Amino acid sequence: MELTLLTVPDCANATTFEERLAAALADHPDVTLTRREISDEPTAAEAGMHGSPTLLINGTDPFAMPGQAASISCRIYRDDEGRAGPAPSVGALRRAIAAAGEA
């Protein structure tokens, strides 16, 4: 499984995202996370970035909405109750990782 975390320089949400992702990956010590910094819209579009931070699992953003445009803007995630936050919950990250593992 290939995980890539895309961020813009000095992303305010990156630390929270990485902390939650580390917790979600605690049972997956064999998974390697690659970090990539994106600084312009064309590169964001090429990379599949839908705001910062974006997690790609095997090249796909599991949290992107259909038709969501590429962006280097600050990304907001919604939890199961619809509340806005800087990153998906640990549970949501675990579910996305499990779904990619089953695919």
* Selected residue with higher pLDDT from 103 and 13: 13
pLDDT at 103 over 70: no
State the DSSP code for 28. Answer: -
**pLDDT over threshold 70, residue 86:** yes
Residue 102 has pLDDT above 80, yes or no: no
Q: At a CB cut-off of 8 Å and minimum separation 6, what does 13 contact?
A: 52, 53, 74, 75, 86, 87
Q: Where are the domains of the chain?
A: 2-102
CB 16 within 8 A of CB 46: no
Whether residue 93 has pLDDT greater than 70: yes
Question: How many CB atoms neighbour CB 94 within 10 A?
Answer: 19
pLDDT for the residue 25: 95
User: pLDDT, tens digit, for every residue of 2-58?
Assistant: 999 999 999 999 999 999 999 999 988 889 899 999 999 999 999 999 999 999 999
The arithmetic mean of pLDDT across residues 70-81, rounded, is 92
Give tens-digit pLDDT for 16-25.
999 999 999 9
Tokens of 51: 């705001």
What is the CATH code of the structural domain delimited by 2-102?
3.40.30
